[in-house]
Structure 1
Amino acid sequence: MTDAELTVDRAPEPARNRRAARVLLVDSAGRVLLLHGYDPARPGHRYWFTPGGGLESGETPVDGAVRELAEETGLRVTPTELGAPVWRETVEFPFDGRWYRQEQHFFLLRVPNWQVDTSGFDDIERRTIDAHRWWPVGELATTPERVYPPELPTLLRRLTGEAEPC
């Protein structure tokens, strides 16, 4: 997110603290699954993002990642299959007229392939997520479309061992 994106929509009240878990779901072709959506308060602000979301009260990051993965993709795994987080970050962003400060943990899961099932979406997801796609890392690195987190191509290359293009 650019500084302009952060400051333009900054709410006057303090950011709400939120914890989240996200999954880097990578198939046997080395593609990562991303969802496409938008902010309801800013319908023109469209972006691609990893499956995952906010943790419920008392939920651990790995348990939240397992739950979110099942809800958003239909893929059911155990916490042991996800293992430990591979990356963490804290981001601030607006969504639906509110400002959030979110600490998020990312987990890496490799699958041979997966047919995405979005029937587990909740109401806000049904209203704001309009597509999903398996992205090759090289294409993700060069797309003019907005992708969160912006460091995703570099992170995926580091985690999967894919070389940077020459």
Structure 2
Amino acid sequence: MVSGADPASAPVRQVSRVVLLDPDDRILLLHGYEPARPSETWWFTPGGGLEGSETREQAALRELAEETGITGATLGPVLWKRRCAFPFDGRRWEQDEWYFLARTDRTTTDTAGHTDLERRSVSGLRWWTSEELSAAHETVYPTRLAELLRTLLDEGPPSAPVLLETERV
């Protein structure tokens, strides 16, 4: 962003994210950090921005393959939507995120498809049980993911996407 530019006028990045569950209902999260400050870490779902004319669904599956090496996942409905804004890698990001449910039988991951930025800001991946996520004392995005996952596992996908709180950091 240009110095002095109004953050409200920054373009909003369209993002697809994946809530990937394995046969044991564990969720796959990536462990990220700020490249300039590696001690600032958090966990997050696979996903990223739409490219060209691809659909949200196409972006979700492409990002899942690039970030985790997992292909052939069964993509389900949009669970949640949220707006967020945060500083990362020297710029301000404004995003409109859609979270898709996906299922896979494959739990082996491969990060060979990571972009340069991902290689500089992702330290690994981990499958989490709902209980492990609820007990975690680490930062996880979206906020309340443990609660959202528990509700998903207990009640199934919502009949329409749930609008999550806007998060601004």
TM-score, length-normalised on structure 2?
Answer: 0.81
2:43 is aligned with 1:41: no
Give 1:31's match in structure 2, choosing from 7, 26, 36: 26
Tell me the amino acid that sits aligned with residue 65 of structure 2.
A
2:79 is aligned with 1:86: yes
Gaps of 5+ in 1: 1-10
Give the fraction of aligned pairs with identical amino acids, expressed as a percent. Answer: 49
Aligned twin of 1:149: 142
1:41 CA displacement: 3.5
- Conservation of the 8 A alpha-carbon contact between 2:70 and 2:106: no
Aligned twin of 1:54: 49
- Conservation of the 8 A alpha-carbon contact between 1:16 and 1:99: no
Aligned twin of 2:114: 121
Distance in 2, matches of 1:137 and 1:160, equals 9
Aligned-CA RMSD value: 1.8
Distance in 2, matches of 1:116 and 1:77, equals 13
1:12 CA displacement: 4.8
Query: Map of 1:63-142 to 2, 5 A cutoff?
Result: 63-77=58-72, 81-142=74-135
Q: Secondary structure at the match of 1:83?
A: strand
- Conservation of the 8 A alpha-carbon contact between 1:41 and 1:95: no
1:16 CA displacement: 4.0
Cα deviation 1:70-123 (Å, max 9, x = unaligned)? 101111237xx3133111111111111111110011111122342011111111
Q: Secondary structure at the match of 1:86?
A: strand
Gaps of 5+ in 2: 156-169
Tell me the amino acid that sits aligned with residue 150 of structure 1.
T
Q: Secondary structure at the match of 1:57?
A: coil
- Conservation of the 8 A alpha-carbon contact between 1:49 and 1:148: yes
Aligned twin of 1:8: none
Give 2:14's match in structure 1, choosing from 11, 19, 31: 19
- Conservation of the 8 A alpha-carbon contact between 1:62 and 1:84: no
